[in-house]
Amino acid sequence: MIEEKNCILIKYKIRLLFKKLVLSKLFSVSIIITILGGITGILGYVYQVLIGRLLNSTELGLFGATVSLVSILSSPLGAISLVLSKRVTSLYAKNDIVGLKNIGKKIIIFVFIGIVIFVLTAYFSFGEVKKYLNSTDNYIVWLFVGLVSLSAIASLNTAFFQGLQKFNSHALLGVVWALLKIIGAVILVGYFDGGISGAIESLLLAKLLFCLMGAYIVIKNIFKLSNNFKKIQVTDDDKTILTIKDCFLMASASTSFVIMTQLDMVLVNQFFPSDIASNYAAAAILGKAVLYIPGGLVFALFPMVINNNVNNISSAYLIKQALIITLIFCLPVSLIYFFFGVNIVEFLYGNKYAMAGNLLQYFGFLMLPLALMMVFEHFLLAKGRILFTLIFVLLVPLEILALQYLHESLYQFMSVMFIFGIAATFLGAFSLWFDFNKKLRK
């Protein structure tokens, strides 16, 4: 009888927890962003296939090298975007419209100066850029410079979208961006036969429109807030845009996470023959979807935690919800890969990658700890915890060192990655526990 009552009580608590979770803002936002992000991802695959069909092999190689170099040079912008997002969120939580406008003006000047410096640097190192791109066409290099410059503006827009908590608008704009790329490729490459120049031009024009639409939405929202919020006096502390500590913190965390999640392909290509490495790449393209699923969640989680910090509200409930939502989203996909990985690879790739199906069975579980780590990372960064960042800065070289010696097979290679992923997650949980006991209960 007592056991029956306990079971009923447990079921009631589970239903209550699930109800609170489903009705929470974090869950609803995560669902919408994840759906729109999935649509963007599908359109991205369509764009890649389209470009592959429209360009010949030589042009496709140059296009891939250009896009790759743009991504590499734009990677530090992610850290700056997080720092700016943190500042915008704090000002938004204080209803400080004067501060928002001031920081907007100052960061525009900061970005403009950065773009000018980059353009001058590119001009004086044209030879090196053309050598890397394996191109003798100066026009291609200028298009590349334009893409990197627009990436800075796009990062600025993203920071304000996140800080102002306009999550749905940002996700919807991502879908528009993917559609613009496809439309541009069809017109400039397919219809006008623009070749590699047309492909990069279409990407540049799509990004320009993407930036202009994003800037319009941000400016419109800030002026809209001006009519609703009471203007308050800006303090000296409010005038700070980017501190050295914040930049170092965000850059270290972002770089460490990118290395832990992306370096595997570089090392696999180095350690294994090309046929084996291609099987790993085929599995990784699908398996890393588990890692990217919580992307919308952490995008929303970061400013929500900062907003609570400003208002002296505990964020314990947010991290609990975020971890549960991550497991709800990621665990089923990992299980699908485990039971149907071979069938999925055969359906998508045919018999081209015989080993990839077996690798995919374990790839979901390989990425699951890293997905949880990403949640810990954004939560603790939002609270300004530098200890967490230092832990991962130390873990990355240890993982690289271990993989240098333990790579007799792909399964051993993946096992080492899994162990370090578990270690990272454990240390992230410990950092969270430490923070909870010292800060959240006060």
97 and 64 in a single domain? The answer is: yes
Structure tokens at 323: 């971890």
Please, is 402 exposed, middle or buried when counting C-beta atoms within 10 Å of its C-beta (0-12, 13-18, 19+)? Answer: middle
306 and 396 in a single domain? The answer is: yes
Number of neighbours of residue 244 by Cβ within 10 angstroms: 7
99 and 141 in a single domain? The answer is: yes
169 and 48 in a single domain? The answer is: yes
362 and 415 in a single domain? The answer is: yes
**Under 8 Å CB-to-CB from 206, ≥6 apart: which residues?**
177, 180, 181, 183, 184
Structure tokens at 229: 């919020």
193 and 267 in a single domain? The answer is: no
Among 183, 211, 242, residue at a domain's last position? 242
238 and 248 in a single domain? The answer is: no
**Three-state SS annotation for 289-346:** HHHHCCHHHHHHHHHHHHHHHHCCCCCHHHHHHHHHHHHHHHHHHHHHHHHHHHHHHH
* Cα 336 from Cα 344, distance rounded (Å): 9
Dihedral over Cα of 289, 293, 299, 302: its sign: negative
336 and 268 in a single domain? The answer is: yes
226 part of a folded domain: yes
Among 242, 277, 299, residue at a domain's last position? 242
Region for 405 from its dihedrals, namely left if φ exceeds 0, alpha if ψ lies in -120 to 50, beta otherwise: alpha
273 and 229 in a single domain? The answer is: no
Instruction: For residue 325, give its domain range.
Output: 244-442
- How many structural domains is the chain composed of? 2
12 part of a folded domain: no
18 part of a folded domain: no
356 part of a folded domain: yes
16 part of a folded domain: no
4 part of a folded domain: no
Structure tokens at 430: 């410990």
* Cα 357 from Cα 353, distance rounded (Å): 8
Residue with tokens 């939560």: 379
295 and 221 in a single domain? The answer is: no
Q: What is the pTM of this model?
A: 0.70
259 and 364 in a single domain? The answer is: yes
267 part of a folded domain: yes
Dihedral over Cα of 255, 435, 240, 81: its sign: positive
Among 192, 226, 242, residue at a domain's last position? 242
Report yes or no: 391 and 431 within 8 Å, Cβ to Cβ. Answer: yes
189 part of a folded domain: yes
Region for 9 from its dihedrals, namely left if φ exceeds 0, alpha if ψ lies in -120 to 50, beta otherwise: alpha
27 and 69 in a single domain? The answer is: yes
Please, is 347 exposed, middle or buried when counting C-beta atoms within 10 Å of its C-beta (0-12, 13-18, 19+)? Answer: exposed
pLDDT one digit per residue (tens) for the chain, 442 residues: 555 655 655 555 556 555 555 556 666 677 777 788 778 877 876 787 687 778 775 676 677 767 767 776 776 777 677 778 778 887 877 777 777 778 878 888 888 888 888 888 888 887 777 776 667 778 888 888 899 889 888 888 888 888 888 878 888 888 898 899 999 989 998 888 888 888 889 889 999 999 999 888 888 887 776 665 554 444 444 444 445 566 666 666 676 777 777 677 767 767 888 777 777 777 877 788 888 778 778 878 888 888 777 777 777 778 888 888 888 888 998 999 999 888 888 877 677 677 888 888 888 898 898 888 888 888 877 777 666 666 767 787 888 888 888 877 888 888 888 888 888 888 878 877 776 666 544 4
